[in-house]
Amino acid sequence: MRTRTLSNHERGVIIELRNAGIKSGRIAKLLRMLCSTVSTVLIKWKKFGLNTTQKPKPRPPKLSNCTVRDLARLVRRDCRLNLVSIAESFGVHRNTIRKHIRQLGFGGRVAVRKPFLSVIHRKKRLTFGRKDSQRIRVWRKSHEKYVDQCLAPTFKLGRTSVMVWGALNFTGFDKSPLVFLPKGEQTTISFVEHVYDSVLCGFYFMQDASHELLLLEDNLWKTMKNKLRYYKRSSKKEEMRALIQVIWNGISLEQLQRLI
């Protein structure tokens, strides 16, 4: 049966009673202890000068320092090894391996799924991220988030986009009226409504079994875009439409014939 460990005070009382000339048997009766317990305390005091309770020696570790270093190298070499296989290779329980791995600073985590990048790709991405970083850091307190001095200004681009449609016939001697299409995704129904029925049918009529084609030339839009650069851009759609209409009306027949 496991006995109780004496406190330092109890050991001191035994030694003081012995110094007073009281025998060990009498001390055991006074303190209600076993004679062997009192004798053990007095023997340690006389031989080794111990008058306090000594801490018991800890249990020796399952893995030595050299084995722990081998474990660290193994985990570093292959981080995908499972706990059971590592424990079998060292001949200990998996809980022991888990404890030592955590003491080494490792932890079991789920691998993050990311595309593998080469060293060159990583350097390019890092350079791009540092170059295009537009974050501005300021020193402020928690309640100064929206103070004017702590704000980074933003500016609206002011870009105006207009969708138009136009056509010219295969001879290059005529062009259709310019149609401004509503903003948004264009569907077949909207094209028939705004272009085919309202403009295209009256602009060009093709005879049955005719081999003549209606040509649509993208260079015409490039020509208009180049001319539009010489004018001051407006943020209002009405002014932009009027400017585009002026450029469309100013395209001569000679320019149309060169595009055919």
pLDDT tens digits along 22-42: 888 888 888 888 888 888 888
- Average pLDDT of every residue of the chain: 80
Separation between Cα atoms, residue 158 and residue 126, nearest integer Å: 31
Q: Pick the residue with more confidence: 4 or 65?
A: 65
Half-sphere CA count of 54, side-chain side, radius 13 A: 10
Task: Please give the residue that has the higher pLDDT: either 237 or 4.
Answer: 237
Would you state the pLDDT for residue 13?
85
d(CA 245, CA 249): 6
Q: What is the pLDDT of residue 221?
A: 79
Domain ranges in the chain?
A: 8-48, 65-103, 163-205+213-259
Q: Kindly tell me if the per-residue pLDDT of 54 is higher than 80.
A: no
Q: How confident is the model at residue 103 (pLDDT cuts 50, 70, 90)?
A: very high
**CA 193: distance to chain centroid?**
48
pLDDT at position 1: 45
Residue 170: pLDDT band with limits 50, 70, 90 = low
| 37: CB partners within 8 A, 6+ apart | 3, 6, 28
What integer pLDDT is reported at residue 208 of this predicted model?
Answer: 46
Conformational region of residue 117, where left means phi above 0, alpha means psi within -120 to 50, and beta covers everything else = beta
Average pLDDT over residues 5-21: 83
User: Is pLDDT of 43 > 90?
Assistant: no
Tell whether the model's pLDDT for residue 87 goes beyond 90: yes
The string of pLDDT tens digits covering residues 185-217 is 677 877 777 777 777 666 655 544 444 544 455
Check whether 115 has a pLDDT greater than 60. Answer: yes
The top-scoring range by mean pLDDT among 45-54, 116-125, 234-243, 250-259 is 116-125
96 or 126, which is more confident = 96
DSSP 188: H
Asked whether 116 and 87 are in contact (CB, 8 A), the reply is no
Contact 237, 163 (CB under 8 A): no
Q: Average pLDDT of 49-77?
A: 85
Closest CA to 79 of 109, 43, 104: 109
Residue 5: per-residue pLDDT: 77
Range with top average pLDDT, 50-64, 111-125, 215-229: 111-125
Give the pLDDT score at 67: 93
